[in-house]
Amino acid sequence: MRTIVFGGSGFFGRELIEILLSKGHHVTMVTRGKRDFPEHKNLEKLIADRNDLSSLKNKLDGKTFDLAYDQLGFCSNEAEILTKALEGKIEHLIFTSSKSVYNLGKDLREDTIDTNNLDLKMGDRSAFDYAEGKRQAEAFYLQKAPFKVGCFRPPVVIGMGDTSDRWNWHLNKIKKGEPIYFPNLEAYFCVLSSKDAGLALLEMGEQRVEGPLNFFTANPKLSEILSIMESGVGRKALLAKDAKEGEHSPYGIEDDWFMSNERANLLGIKPSVDFVELAKTLSSQ
């Protein structure tokens, strides 16, 4: 299978490309060339800005693919650029969206946010907050793209090489004895391992999944996550009573915020990673 990936050099994009190559895909990776990636006989690297339509068209001239992955889109304008660049060149695209398209809630299903029928608004990243930007990117792809589209909605992704560094942010605060503020440590907060993210993206592409798809590895309470971090560091976290007394945790939420895995499970897409073991490994590094 001929596959093109936009943004495969960082974090779970690397997992995706490594898995694709292991499955025999011929992969074209489009990046800005700021991170190294191992050479492979079935891997072609294209240095380009995914938001420069003229450059993309020039780099992709004469090329066609079975499948595309957009790991980098953040708004409707960016979805439009890639749609124009790939028109007539692909059959199916998988867009990496986010759990952030949902407001706080429990067991959130994909139809909770119906971007097929969302009022489409064009704009760049500055026109929207993160959540609305992802919703509008989904809306453009699902409503306007001339090829089939699946939208992957992952929660916070954890694993080695996390470029967001959010897990380590907590470990460093605990080590230094600096106060952290959590609005509600009893809130459930689903997470996804980078390995499971790559495997889910692979399955979405190979099964030609259309529309939105949730997927997570585990749904622990924030207190469970913090306890594993404390054990790894070897000391208790200093918890602030409010945001004025400590920095707000990037994981800090006021109430439960987790999705349903029902559609993914029906497609045979299930977690393969033990969350507790992964969390222990990440917290003892």
Same-domain pairing of 22 and 62: yes
Q: Shortest CA distance to 18 belongs to which of 2, 33, 40?
A: 40
Tokens of 33: 């060339």
Task: Give the count of beta carbons closer than 10 Å to the beta carbon of residue 37.
Answer: 17
29 CB-side CA count, 13 A: 28
Same-domain pairing of 108 and 241: no
Same-domain pairing of 64 and 83: yes
- The pLDDT of residue 2 is above 80: yes
Quick check: is 268 in a domain? no
pLDDT band at 35 (very low <50, low <70, confident <90, very high): low
Domain total for the chain?
2
Same-domain pairing of 103 and 128: yes
- The pLDDT of residue 32 is above 90: no
Same-domain pairing of 78 and 181: no
Q: Which of 6-10, 130-134, 220-224 has the lowest mean pLDDT?
A: 6-10
Same-domain pairing of 115 and 181: no
Average pLDDT score over residue span 182-195:
97
Average pLDDT score over residue span 106-131:
98
Quick check: is 266 in a domain? no
Domain span including residue 86: 2-156+191-214
pLDDT of residue 73: 95
Dist CA 13 CA 70 (whole Å): 10
- The pLDDT of residue 26 is above 80: yes
What is the chain's mean pLDDT, rounded? 95
Same-domain pairing of 202 and 249: no
pLDDT of residue 240: 96
pLDDT, tens digit, for every residue of 138-157? 999 999 999 999 999 999 99
Same-domain pairing of 248 and 199: no
pLDDT band at 186 (very low <50, low <70, confident <90, very high): very high
Instruction: Write the CB contacts of 274 (distance below 8 Å, at least 6 apart in sequence).
Output: none
Quick check: is 141 in a domain? yes
Same-domain pairing of 133 and 175: no
What amino acid occupies position 48? A
Same-domain pairing of 182 and 201: no
